[in-house]
Amino acid sequence: MNNILEIKDLCKTYYTKLGCVEALRNINLNIHDGEIIGIIGNSGCGKSTLLSILAKLDEGTSGDIKSEKKDYVVGYMLQNDALFPWLTILDNATLGLKIKNIKTKENIEYTKQLLETYGLKDFMYKYPNSLSGGMKQRVALIRTLAIKPDILLLDEPFSKLDLITRLDISDDVYKMIKQEKKTTIIISHDIGECVSLCDRVAIMTKRPGTIKKIYDINLLNKDIPSKVRTDEKFYYYYDLLWKEIDK
Ligand SMILES: Nc1ncnc2c1ncn2[C@@H]1O[C@H](COP(=O)(O)OP(=O)(O)OP(=O)(O)O)[C@@H](O)[C@H]1O
Ligand SMILES: [Mg+2]
pLDDT at site 152: 95
22 lines ligand 1 (CB under 6 A): no
Ligand 1 atom 30, closest CA: 44
**222 CB under 6 A from ligand 1?**
no
Higher-pLDDT residue of 45, 133: 45
Query: How much is the average pLDDT of 219-230?
Result: 83
Domains of the chain, earliest start first: 3-72+150-244 (3.40.50.300), 80-148 (no CATH)
Mean pLDDT of 215-241: 89
Backbone angles phi, psi at 61, to 5 degrees: -75, -35
Average pLDDT rounded to a whole number, residues 171-179: 88
When pLDDT is cut at 50, 70 and 90, the band that residue 70 belongs to is confident
pLDDT of residue 28: 97
Which atom of ligand 1 is least distant from the CA of 50?
18
Which ligand 1 atom minimizes the distance to the CA of 45? 21
Three-state SS for 136? helix
Residues linked to residue 16 through DSSP beta bridges, in sequence order:
19
Identify the DSSP state of 188: -
**Protein residue with its CA nearest to atom 17 in ligand 1:** 48
Instruction: Determine phi and psi for 21, rounding to 5 degrees.
Output: -120, 115
- 13 Cβ below 6 A of ligand 1: no
Residue 21: nearest ligand to its CA?
A: 1
Average pLDDT rounded to a whole number, residues 95-119: 95
Most confident of the following: 31-35, 131-135, 217-221: 31-35
The predicted pLDDT at position 172 comes to: 84
Protein residue whose Cα sits closest to atom 7 of ligand 1: 14
Q: What pLDDT is stored for residue 173 in this prediction?
A: 86
**Is the pLDDT assigned to residue 98 strictly greater than 90?**
yes
154 HSE (CA, 13 A, CB side)? 31
Would the pLDDT of 221 be above 80?
no
Three-state DSSP at 165 gives helix
Measured by CA distance, the residue closest to atom 9 of ligand 1 is: 49
Query: Is there an atom of ligand 1 within 6 Å of 25 CB?
Result: no
**Which ligand has an atom closest to residue 27 CA?**
1
Over range 209-216, report the average pLDDT. Answer: 96
Average pLDDT over residues 171-194: 91
Measure Cα distances from 146 to 110, 246, 247 in Å. Answer: 7, 37, 38
pTM comes to: 0.92
The residue whose C-alpha atom lies closest to atom 23 belonging to ligand 1 is 44
Instruction: Please write the tens of the pLDDT for every residue from 4-43.
Output: 999 999 999 999 998 999 999 999 999 999 999 999 999 9
Q: Angle at which helices 105-117 and 133-145 pack, to 10 degrees?
A: 150
